[in-house]
Amino acid sequence: MFRLSFLFPLLPRLLAPSALLAGLMLSPPAGAGTPAAVTSALGNAKGALLQADGPRAREILAAISPAGLDQADESFLSCALSRLGEAPADDTASPSPGRLAPRLLAAYRRYWQDSVRDPALRDEAGRRLRSRVAALTGQPEGRDFARLERVAKERLRAEGVHGLLGQTGRLRDLMIWRKQTDRVETVMLPDGRQRTKVFYLDDFVSRGWSHFIACGATGTGGWATRRGLFAIVPAYGDTAGEEFRVNFLTHESQHFSDYRRFPGLKGWELEYRAKLAELSVADAVREKTLRRFALNQGDDPGDAHSFADRRVLEALRLRLGLQPEEDLLPVPGVRLRQTARDALLADSARRRTMGAGKPASR
């Protein structure tokens, strides 16, 4: 599995065999001149896109007038409605000479648009994609999709690019990048210090389905595997800033630690703990992080991020003595950070009591 982050802030999760989706990030709030209702609608549309709910996103976007929008929001509105329209014809099903990367990406983009535009036809779109991937890689059509993707990844590597394929949230995904460097980073988590190798990825051909379908307004920020953390550099801009440290390094380092300390955690449990870790250290990005969680809440455990977002907000309100759905933004940063830290430590203690954990390294 792999895991992703979104830029609204940004990070998600792929279900490839060895990786976990990180977080999702949305784009920054609309400009100061944009009415609050429109700002809220744009945020709700991006949240719907993160959940691959094209009909809901299209309904919201269609009600927004481009008049008065700043250039960035107007561009997003136009592009998103176009992405949710009819997908272009795709002729990649038959093998032919040429590089695999652009032809594979065309097939995935067609699948993404079909799947998001009409979720009822998502299974059929997935079957068409499987046939295209088989044809492009010269494999039997009936072969397991995961095996087809492994072959595709090997072919991409032979072309001199890196590839990641698997399941991100509700859709199969494809990322392609050209540059990769690594270094060891040390992160202080509520449970102790964690040293992890971080791979910094750059020069992307594709940043995945969420980035494509939302025209760059959302996208994956990175993921974690047992090898280390993988950071999508363009998702953050400044890898020395708080956003990267909180929403990526802290989040993914918590996953890395939990893989060792609490093996066998469900996807949403990993996300729940990593999101509490984010809020335990968030300062300047606290409001943005809370808004990201609030925009992507859900009750389907299969969608690990949205399910965990709701549980995190519920746990914090309960510990703070707030009413259900009460706004967390007015809570002082120091108090919110301590509450998130306490919630994560309590979860760790409960798991150790159940015999599910190992002592943290200090």
Between CA 161 and CA 101 the distance in angstroms is: 8
Copy the structure tokens of residue 32: 């100061």
**Number of domains the chain is built from:** 1
Residue 49 near residue 59, CB atoms below 8 Å: no
What gap in Å lies between CA 263 and CA 169, rounded to an integer? Answer: 21
On the 0-12 / 13-18 / 19+ scale of CB atoms within 10 A, 135 is middle
Give one word for 131, left, alpha or beta, with left for phi > 0 and alpha for psi -120 to 50.
alpha
Residue closest to 175 by CA, chosen among 159, 162, 191, 157 = 162
Q: Does residue 127 lie within any of the structural domains?
A: yes
**pLDDT given for residue 97 in this prediction:** 53
pLDDT at 223: 87
Query: How much of the chain exceeds pLDDT 70, in percent?
Result: 86
Q: Is residue 361 part of a domain?
A: no
208: left (phi over 0), alpha (psi -120 to 50) or beta: left
Amino acid of residue 335: R
Could you tell me if 167 and 15 are in contact, meaning their C-beta atoms sit under 8 angstroms apart? yes
Higher pLDDT, 143 or 103: 103
Is residue 262 within 8 Å of 220, Cβ to Cβ?
no
User: How many Å apart are CA 42 and CA 360, to the nearest integer?
Assistant: 42
Q: For 174-230, how does the pLDDT look when each residue is reduced to its tens digit (9 = 90+)?
A: 999 999 999 999 999 999 999 989 999 999 999 999 999 999 988 888 888 888 899
Q: How confident is the model at residue 337 (pLDDT cuts 50, 70, 90)?
A: very high
Rounded CA-CA distance 94/136 in Å is 7
Cα of 100 vs its chain's centroid, Å: 25
Residue 358 included in any domain: no
Q: What is the pLDDT of residue 26?
A: 44
Q: Cα 116 vs. chain centroid, distance in angstroms?
A: 16
Note the residue count of the chain: 362
Q: What's residue 5's pLDDT?
A: 37
Q: Identify the pLDDT of residue 208.
A: 96
Domain annotation covers residue 337: yes
The β-bridge relationship of strands 162-168 and 171-189 is antiparallel
Residue listed under structure tokens 């094209």: 54
Cα 111 from Cα 109, distance rounded (Å): 5
216 class by beta-carbon count within 10 Å (0-12 exposed, 13-18 middle, 19+ buried)? middle
pLDDT of 31 reads 40
pLDDT of 90 above 80: no
Confidence check: pLDDT of 12 > 70: no
Give the C-alpha separation, 301 to 267, whole Å.
8
The pLDDT > 90 percentage for the chain reads 68
> What average pLDDT score do residues 118-143 get?
94
Residue at 311 is within a domain: yes
Which residue from 286, 264, 347, 360 is spatially nearest to 311, judged by alpha carbons? 347
- Asked if 11 and 250 count as a contact pair (C-beta separation under 8 A), the reply is no
> In the predicted model, what is the mean pLDDT of residues 119-140?
96
pTM given for the model: 0.76
Residue 157 lies in a domain: yes
Rounded distance, CA 259 to CA 266, Å?
A: 11
Query: For position 3, what pLDDT does the model report?
Result: 38
**Regarding predicted confidence, which is higher, 335 or 37?**
335
How far is Cα 213 from Cα 117, in angstroms, rounded to an integer? Answer: 10
Q: Give a yes or no: residue 343 inside a domain.
A: yes
Does 360 map to a domain? no
Domain that holds residue 349: 3-7+9-353
Report pLDDT for 225.
Answer: 84
Work out the average pLDDT over 269-281: 97
